[in-house]
């Protein structure tokens, strides 16, 4: 498993088989990036206590919906879901369960328009909407937490990395690090990957969900949003050109991808950060696997397991945890221990 780190990185770069996790080796029948990517959504069920919900107001008269899992801990993990996901997807609940079992509190939040409630403003969410993550972090830091860690999946991973890069020197000292999974940190390349005929099933699902949202927004804001001809959209280039870019202040899809890809800004991050991207991930371009120290900087490490798909890393374990959840917990526990 490739990994890269500078000498300033606070924990060993080589995972080995210590610390409660091992190098990821799925059974033979799961050594397929496509199967790994769809299996958890189809078959995984994660039982978890009902969260305490909260609605957080934004400065532009909108709202973010939060799920809190509190058990009186002094460590908090903030979890950010992926594109067209929400706070109660199995991959979010799986990591929440893993962290709760180790005494952490957990805050899983929903991007604007996600989680079953349409937001009020014409804008919705995108890969560079770090202001919303910043609001969630600032709100959480009003609690009595000694340390706070971030975790993001897919688009939420890019959002997390970009947020940390933008904060860099201004980061609150209680934010001690992050772990991210299946990160399309090269947005243009990932859009190209998902435009391939072999990825059509994924695009159809994304566009179906996004189409329903845009139709609702068109009803609310007919002067701004038009969904005529939406059925002819086939790629993110077309969708982002028509909707994401103009609604969020970008010139076009290329401008949006350029400004919001975390890839070129990893070196600005100033807290220990782990990026885990599987080599068989069908969503990720080659550029989503930065391997040079000059790309990663002093604080970011890449681990690239051979298998795992997109937000997969399936494991049939007695405790019900997936490999990714054990890996995240070991990493975040080690960072929080430095604050005790």
The single residue listed with the structure tokens 């400065």 is: 59
Residues 96 and 231 in one domain: no
Q: Are residue 124 and residue 270 in the same domain, yes or no?
A: yes
CB count in 10 Å sphere of residue 8: 8
Give the total number of structural domains in the chain.
Answer: 2
Residues 70 and 205 in one domain: no
Percent over 90 (pLDDT), the chain: 88
pLDDT per position as a tens digit, 281-299: 999 999 999 999 999 999 9
168 & 301 share domain: yes
Residues 73 and 207 in one domain: no
Q: What is the mean pLDDT of the chain?
A: 93
Residue 7 pLDDT exceeds 70: no
154 is catalytic: yes
Residues 223 and 288 in one domain: no
Q: Is position 23 within any domain? A: no
* Structural domain ending residue among the three candidates 260, 288, 311: 260
Contact 150, 175 (CB under 8 A): yes
Question: For 79-134, how does the pLDDT look when each residue is reduced to its tens digit (9 = 90+)?
Answer: 999 999 999 999 999 999 999 999 999 999 999 999 999 999 999 999 999 999 99
Read off the pLDDT of each residue in 148-158 and give the average, rounded to a whole number. 98
Residue 20 lies in a domain: no
Residues 175 and 55 in one domain: yes
**Residue where one domain finishes, among candidates 208, 225, 260:** 260
Question: What CATH number is associated with residue 305?
Answer: 3.40.50.1820
25 pLDDT band (50/70/90 cuts)?
A: very high
Residue indicated by tokens 């190209």: 192
User: Mean pLDDT, to the nearest integer, of 209-218?
Assistant: 98
Is pLDDT above 70 for 339? no
Give the per-residue pLDDT at 19: 47
Domain shared by 57 and 172, yes or no: yes
In the structure, how many helices (H) and strands (E) does the chain have? 11, 8
What is residue 38's three-state secondary structure?
Answer: helix
If asked whether residues 267 and 218 sit together in one domain, one would say no
Q: How confident is the model at residue 6 (pLDDT cuts 50, 70, 90)?
A: very low
Residue 293 lies in a domain: yes
Q: Same structural domain for residues 165 and 232?
A: no
Q: Is the pLDDT of residue 321 over 80?
A: yes
Which pTM does this prediction carry? 0.93
**Per-residue pLDDT band at 22 (split at 50, 70, 90):** confident
pLDDT (mean) for 39-65: 95
Does 272 lie in the same domain as 144?
A: yes
Residues 51 and 142 in one domain: yes
How far apart CA 86 and CA 96 sit, in angstroms, is 13
CA distances in angstroms from 293 to 9, 89, 271, listed in the order given = 12, 34, 15
Q: Which residue's entry shows tokens 């971030």?
A: 150
Domain assignment of residue 62, yes or no: yes
CA dist 313 and 280 (Å) reads: 11
In this predicted structure, what is the pLDDT of residue 12?
Answer: 41
Domain-located, residue 147: yes
* % pLDDT > 70, the chain: 93
- What pLDDT sits at residue 337? 77
* Catalytic member of 113, 127, 154, 285: 154
170 pLDDT higher than 60: yes
Helix axes 253-260, 187-194, angle to 10 degrees: 130
**Which helix (H) or strand (E) covers residue 43, if one does?**
helix 33-43
33 pLDDT above the threshold of 80: yes
Task: Name the pLDDT band for 330 (thresholds 50, 70, 90).
Answer: very high
Cα 8 → chain centroid = 25
Would 3 be classed as within a structural domain? no
CA distance 293 to 306: 21
Range of the domain at 249: 194-260
pLDDT at 119: 97
Residue 5 lies in a domain: no
Is 22 among the domain residues? Answer: no
Confidence band (pLDDT; 50, 70, 90) for 21? low
- For residues 218 and 226, give the distance between their C-alpha atoms in angstroms, rounded to a whole number: 6
Q: Active-site residue among 86, 126, 237, 310?
A: 310
Does position 5 have pLDDT exceeding 50, yes or no? no
Which of 240, 241, 280, 281 is an active site residue? 281
């Amino acid at each position: 498993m490739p990994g890269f780190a500078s000498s300033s990185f606070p924990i060993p770069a080589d995972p080995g088989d210590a610390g409660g996790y091992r190098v990821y080796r799925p059974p033979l029948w799961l050594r397929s990036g496509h199967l790994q990517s769809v299996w958890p959504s189809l078959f995984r069920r994660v039982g978890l206590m009902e969260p305490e919900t909260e609605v957080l107001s934004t400065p532009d008269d909108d709202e973010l919906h939060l799920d809190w899992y509190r058990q009186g801990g002094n460590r908090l993990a903030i979890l950010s879901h992926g594109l067209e996901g929400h706070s109660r997807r199995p991959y979010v609940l799986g990591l929440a369960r893993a962290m709760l079992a180790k005494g952490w509190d957990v805050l899983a939040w929903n991007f604007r328009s996600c989680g079953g409630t349409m937001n009020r403003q014409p804008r919705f969410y995108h890969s560079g909407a770090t202001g919303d993550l910043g609001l969630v972090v600032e709100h959480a830091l009003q609690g009595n937490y000694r340390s706070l860690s971030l975790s993001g999946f897919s688009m939420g991973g890019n959002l997390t990395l970009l947020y940390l890069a933008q904060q860099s020197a201004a980061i609150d000292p209680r934010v001690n690090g992050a772990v991210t999974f299946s990160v399309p940190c090269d947005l243009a390349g990932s859009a190209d990957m998902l435009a391939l005929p072999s990825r059509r099933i994924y695009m159809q699902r994304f566009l179906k969900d996004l189409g329903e949202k845009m139709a609702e927004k068109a009803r609310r804001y007919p002067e701004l949003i038009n969904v005529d001809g939406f059925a002819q959209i086939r790629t993110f280039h077309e969708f982002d050109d028509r909707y994401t870019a103009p609604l969020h202040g970008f010139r076009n899809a290329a401008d949006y991808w350029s400004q919001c890809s975390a890839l070129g800004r990893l070196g600005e991050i100033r807290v220990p950060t782990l990026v885990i991207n599987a080599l068989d991930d069908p969503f990720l371009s080659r550029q989503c696997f930065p391997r040079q120290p000059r790309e990663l900087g002093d604080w970011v490490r890449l681990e690239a397991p051979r298998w795992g798909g997109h937000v997969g890393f399936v494991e049939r374990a007695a405790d019900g945890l997936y490999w990714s959840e054990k890996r995240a917990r070991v990493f975040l526990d080690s960072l929080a221990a430095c604050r005790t």
